[in-house]
Copies of this chain bind each other. A is one copy, B any other.
């Protein structure tokens, strides 16, 4: 495995060599502090491509001024060991100054799919995500790129960006990986105290209950959301930011679940903001 710490010319040269050698290139962009969710993306990429590039970059542009950019957990050495073991070809771990000039002034904005849900509570977040993801696409030129469905809105915003800007890459969404008790894996789970960790199970439990309600025939969005609400409001340690039932593609509001949909939520557990979601009906992955 080649590790490139920020030199862009070296990265381009290493990717050029990969492309000559072994067919298609898969990209897995991450913010590091890797868990089994990330590794499932890496394995998928390795199984579908001749080579796999992983990027590890905590992107300051997608954090708001009062968010956890500084505190975001990092363990670059451990991450690199994990990726080497998986058989990754290149890991690119730049610093902010490797990717942003002091007078950086160009951004990619998506104005529809990114507007609500996390976009509403994190202004500028998806602008930061789109900008860095496009930069990585342009630096590496992958044939396929892999994103987890836990960040479902992010996945759909990136799909939209790729469609609208004619980016020559195939976006692959991969299923959420969960702990045994249902909690979706997230680098931010490390922030949780033991009692918060117990409370956090309610997110996936409530989504599972709502999915069962849907599967049993309930198609009314209000009732399905109500089922989640009931579960979450019963624990005072949880502060709901949103619970939304949306069309699965452009995330527009649904009154009745008459097409592929996603039930998504963001909840604060203490100071930690967690997101989770479940798909209702068939959704392109």
Contacts and interface: CB of A to CB of B under 8 A. Distances in A.
A100 B141 CA distance: 23
Contact of A164 (B104, B111, B112, B166): B104
Contact of A106 (B100, B135, B161): B161
A103 interface: yes
A8 B101 contact: no
A105 interface: yes
Interface string A27-40: 00000000000000
| Count of identical protomers in the assembly | 2
Given A12-B168, A135-B166, A105 B113 contact: yes
A160 interface: yes
A18 to B, nearest CB: 15
Interface residues of A, number: 32
B110 A109 contact: no
B108 A106 contact: yes
Contacts of A209: none
Interface string A135-173: 100110100000000000000000011011111100000
A99 B164 CA distance: 8
B101 A105 contact: no
B168 A138 contact: yes
A107 interface: yes
B103 A107 contact: no
B106 A107 contact: no
A196 interface: no
A103 B247 CA distance: 15
Interface in A1-46: 8, 12
Interface centre among A110, A113, A134 (most CB of B within 10 A): A134
Contact of A111 (B99, B101, B107): B107
A130 B112 CA distance: 19
Contacts of A109: 106-109
A250 interface: yes
Interface string A108-130: 11111100000000000000001
A165 B134 contact: yes
Which 8 A-B pairs give the minimum distances between C-beta atoms? Answer: A106-B164, A105-B112, A138-B166, A106-B110, A106-B161, A105-B111, A139-B166, A135-B166
Given A101-B163, A106-B164, 5 more contacts: A105-B111, A106-B130, A106-B160, A135-B166, A138-B165
